[in-house]
Structure 1
Amino acid sequence: MPTAIDLFCGAGGLSQGLHDAGFEILWGIDHEEKTKPTYEANHACEMTVGDIREEEPPDLGLDEGELDLVAGGPPCPTFSLVGRSKINSLEGQDNQSDERHLLYEEFLRFVDHYQPRAFLMENVEGMLSAENEDGKPVVDTIKEQIRGERPVADMDLDLNYSVRVQLLDAANYGVPQHRKRLFFIGNRIGSENPDMEQWETHRPPQTEEEKKIKYSRDPSKRSEEDQHTLDGFVDDREDEEFPAFRKNRRSKESWNTVADGILDLPPVSPSGETPPTRADEYELGPVSEYQYWARDRDEGQDWEEQELLNHECRGHNMRDLTLYKLLGEGTSYIIGDIPEEHQPYRTDIFPDKLKKQNPKEPATTIVAHLYKDGHMFIHPNEARSITVREAARLQSFKDTFEFPVSRTHAFKQVGNAVPPLLAQAIGTAIRSEIFNQPIREEEPQKAD
């Protein structure tokens, strides 16, 4: 089994996806103390809380070059448009001099230390348009540093990796959410770095019918003959179990939508409480293919026996609840479309400050700002913002992934995460194309 570590690991979305792709995660690190209970509740490896700039790479019990993958997503707020505007508004600061955008150099320091066969680095789309103080594109600078053609700050690093940089939308890999992120995939063993467009499993809908919820039969009812592996040629089949990552699929499913993702989850006010609060039990079994996968039931377990975790939303005042009710299918999805006298915000600045999620489309990008308010993530059918579990579903965390922290911290952790399904797709491609390992389609055992 290939080995990996996860830098800037957060709650562990990247770790989970790599685990599901067949990697053994040996260690993780993050600066946020509240991520530790979440990470350790869902992963069977040690996680360190600390400033990576002050941490030395730990002894993993491996010789130099034996680690297979260094992965991580350095938090770089100055590369996002929102981050740039906030930093530039601070007296005496600008986004080019802000130290946080150089955290990727710490990622490269760990790559240099372990000399893994491959690496995977994730960042925001805004990095593509970012420039350094000399006016040079940041992405070009990083690629030169990775190839060993340019020094990394004042560090004496020995890097000589080939690298491919791609902007990926999570919706194209089965995640019921549009989320564009930049990925650097590299290796030092002479392999071709995967072109992730060739590993896409989903596409935009071509008809109105394809926007409807994709009903599926219970995967536990599938016969042995339904199961296939990638050890030989596998033709595309309609009853293929989700997810099935392989290169150059001849046919793709239409995007998973908000309805596919969350509409099997019960209302959070089962007795009509106002404001809505939480629910602890499922009321229906899963309906869509994605929901069957997300429930992640043990073999032989009925859905009635499964505990529903983190299905809790924030409280709302009556004005917000009434405004939420105004929005929806057949009227409008953003508050900017309703009459001016009902606007709670200036529409020239916040045209989409209140937004109801469209059940026939993938969700808009789940953000960490959810921990402050949920106005941009209003439930498609209920007058409330989404719950932690619904946000996690839209990020492709399975229902068995627990967030044993306060609701506020849980929302932040979900919003900051790499979608596990997207990470699984990339991890599968790395194993197949860089490491030349046969990939089986059946899902690995879940982490302890």
Structure 2
Amino acid sequence: MKKLNSLELFAGVGGLLEGFEETGDYDLLAAVEWLKPQCRTLVNRLEHKYDNPETAKAKVINFDIQRTEELIDGWHDDPEFGSNEGLNSLVDGNTVDVITGGPPCQAYSLAGRIRDKDGMKNDYRNFLFESYIRLVEYYKPKIIVFENVEGILTAAPDGELIVDKIRKAFDEANYEIVDDLRKYALLNMAEFGVPQVRKRVIIVGIRRDDPSINYQDVLHNFYTQTLNAYREPLKTVKDAIGDLPPIYPLKDPTARVSHDNNSNINGHYSRYHNLRDQRIFEILASDILNERHEYDSTEKLKELYYKVTGKKSNIHKYHVLAWDKPSTTIPAHLKKDGLRHIHPDPKQKRSITVREAARIQTFPDDFEFTESMGSSFEMIGNAVPPKFAKKLASAVYSLYESL
């Protein structure tokens, strides 16, 4: 069975890459990522699971993808990124069959647009897809996989929809993508066995090599038949984290440690929560557990916040995960606080841990997060769930074989 050579762009911590590697159907030539904590974590994963130390470190390129020519040909003595022989040295004349990845989503996300005073119109990340496409044009893979948030469908920082720019750019590069992205490419990860509601746009493109092929028919079949066959029943928060040991508050908390963090499980330790927040968590989780539902409305949550803090807020800050439902989306914002991802057990009085977030994102338990809690939450929140990625990888392999 032939392995397909792949390049991963905007690799992050490697959620998408993890799924592709798990299939055993792909040979990773290189992964590109500009954030150092993500690179270190990814190298560690490749070393211990899929590769050896020497080649794993070489395959993960820490560089700014916007400097495309240097990325391809190499660079030397850069104050931030050191020296590297570049992608071509790793591709080494081999055919690149598949390019995968997705630019940072903050510029396209609805939350990002709300928080930014300019609605993210001036954010350079709006146009990072251009770097992706330049590398596609250079290496000419048979298939591309481009992943992003739902907000990319409506983002128009300069007045023109980003997806229209992307479609035009791929078309000019001789790649076909599906005609109706919202209808076909907008997928909810919860429908593929991921225990969270997480909508993402998954753009699969095919290089137009054969004029006799109706590529739109091929892509329609890919989404409605090939990928659709991997759907499965909903998984819940309990399915994901119910077997992890509880982490209870300390009777005598210290200045920065509020919970008994002695599980010895990678990433399974609570962030610090003051007594006020612990009390709120207990009230809200008990309200759900005892089926009182006094705090089901936004207004009631605002009232609780005012009652406890003496401050008013235009939005409610709290959300308790339900044992018997999929989680809400795991976001990168978890690096700042966990108030919207409160553990459902009222006795634990805490937000979810890095390991619980990783479980909900379907990272395997042997995937180690060794960076700071903030960096770990950020990289987990920005990742593609590996369980979905594995299904996508298998579907893409079937698509490749059919062409």
The TM-score with structure 2 as length reference comes to: 0.79
Residue 140 of structure 1: how far off its partner (Å): 2.0
- Residue of 152, 156, 160 corresponding to 1:136: 160
Matched residues in 1 for 2:275 and 2:312: separation? 21
Tell me whether 1:172 sits opposite 2:191 in the alignment.
yes
2:371 and 2:32 map into 1 onto residues whose CA distance is 18
Give the match's secondary structure for 2:91: coil
Q: Sort the Cα spacing of 1:170 and 1:94 in 2 relative to 1 into closer, same or farther, 3 A.
A: closer
Q: Give the Cα–Cα distance (whole angstroms) in 2 for the partners of residues 364 and 3 of structure 1.
A: 35
Residue of structure 2 equivalent to 1:219: none
Partner of 1:8: 10
Aligned residue number for residue 364 of structure 1: 328
3-state DSSP of counterpart to 2:121: coil
Give the corresponding residue for 1:399: 365
Q: Determine which structure has the larger helix proportion and give its number.
A: 2
Measure how far apart 1:37 and its partner are.
Answer: 1.6
Distance of 2:236 and 2:339 partners within structure 1? 19
**Paired amino acid for 2:165:** T
Does residue 25 in structure 1 map to residue 28 in structure 2? yes
2:244 corresponds to? 265
1:334 touches 1:355 (CA, 8 Å); kept in 2?
Answer: no
2:93 corresponds to which residue?
63
**What pairs up with 1:235-274 in 2 under 5 angstroms?**
248=229, 253-269=232-248, 274=253
For 2:28, the aligned partner's letter is: I
Native 8 Å contact 1:391 1:411 kept in 2: yes
* Contact preservation (8 Å) 2:112, 2:119: no
Question: Equivalents in 2 of 1:416, 1:41: separation in Å?
Answer: 18
After superposition, the C-alpha distances for 1:254-302 in whole angstroms (9 at most, x for unaligned) are 3001011101000124986742142435xxxxxxxxxxxxxxxxxxxxx
Q: Which runs of 5+ in 2 are unaligned?
A: 73-86
1:441 aligns with none
Q: How do 1:236-385 residues align onto structure 2 when only pairs under 5 Å count?
A: 248=229, 253-269=232-248, 274=253, 275-281=258-264, 308-328=265-285, 329=288, 330-332=291-293, 336=298, 337-338=300-301, 339-340=303-304, 342=307, 344=309, 349-351=314-316, 353-381=317-345, 382-385=348-351
For the 8 Å contact 1:262–1:394, the answer to whether it is kept is yes
The counterpart of 2:114, out of the listed 85, 91, 94, is: 85
For residue 177 of structure 2, what is the aligned residue in structure 1? 163
- Per the TM alignment, residue 185 of structure 1 is displaced from its structure 2 partner at its CA by 0.4
Match in the other structure for 1:232: none
Q: Equivalent residue for 1:95?
A: 120
Paired with 2:195 and 2:61, the residues of 1 have a C-alpha distance of 31
Tell me the distance in 2 between the aligned counterparts of 1:74 and 1:388: 23
2:65 to 32, 52, 75: 52
Q: CA deviation at 1:343?
A: 5.0
Partner of 1:121: 146
Structure 2 residue aligned with 1:35: 38
Q: 1:321 to 1:23 in 2, by over 3 A?
A: same
| Deviates further, 265-274 or 97-106 | 265-274
Give the aligned residue type for 2:259.
P
Alpha-carbon deviations, 1:96-138, whole Å to 9, x = none? 34321000000001111111111101111111112252x3322
- Match in the other structure for 1:204: none
Query: Displacement, 1:139?
Result: 1.0
The answer to whether the 8 Å contact 1:313/1:387 transfers is yes
Indicate whether 1:108 and 2:108 are aligned: no
Letter in 2 for 1:137: L
CA displacement, residues 175-219 of structure 1 (integer Å, 9 cap, x when unaligned):
00111111110111556235435456xxxxxxxxxxxxxxxxxxx
2:377 is paired with a residue whose SS is: helix
Change (3 A) 1:101 1:2: same
Shift of 1:430: 0.6
Separation in structure 1 between the aligned mates of residue 4 and residue 114 of structure 2, nearest angstrom: 41
> Alpha-carbon deviation of 1:167?
0.7
| Corresponding residue for residue 244 of structure 1 | none
Q: Which runs of 5+ in 1 are unaligned?
A: 149-158, 201-246, 282-307, 438-448
The TM-score normalised by the length of structure 1 is: 0.72
Match of 1:217 in 2: none
Distance change (3 Å), C-alpha of 1:51 and 1:174: same
Distance change in 2, residues 1:346/1:195 (3 Å)? farther
**Counterpart in 1 of 2:397?**
431
CA distance 1:196–1:383, shift in 2 (3 Å): farther
Please state whether the residue corresponding to 2:66 is helix, strand or coil.
helix
Aligned to 1:187: 206
Secondary structure of the residue aligned to 1:327 is helix
Aligned residues: 346
Specify whether residues 345 and 119 from structure 1 end up closer, same or farther in structure 2 by C-alpha distance, changes over 3 A only: farther
**Alpha-carbon distance between aligned partners in 1 of 2:282 and 2:119, rounded to the nearest angstrom:** 41
Residues 1:253 and 1:78: Cα distance change in structure 2 (over 3 Å): closer
Match of 1:145 among 133, 149, 169: 169
Assess, with a 3 A threshold, how the Cα gap between structure 1 residues 114 and 123 changes in structure 2: closer, same or farther: same
Amino acid at match of 1:145: A
Letter in 2 for 1:324: F
SS in 2 for 1:121: strand
Residues 177 and 365, structure 1, Cα contact 8 Å, conserved in 2: yes
1:259 touches 1:359 (CA, 8 Å); kept in 2?
Answer: yes
Percent of residue pairs bearing the same amino acid type: 34
Question: Quick one: which amino acid aligns to residue 32 of structure 1?
Answer: L
Alpha carbons of structure 1 residues 138 and 263: separation in structure 2 relative to 1, 3 Å: same
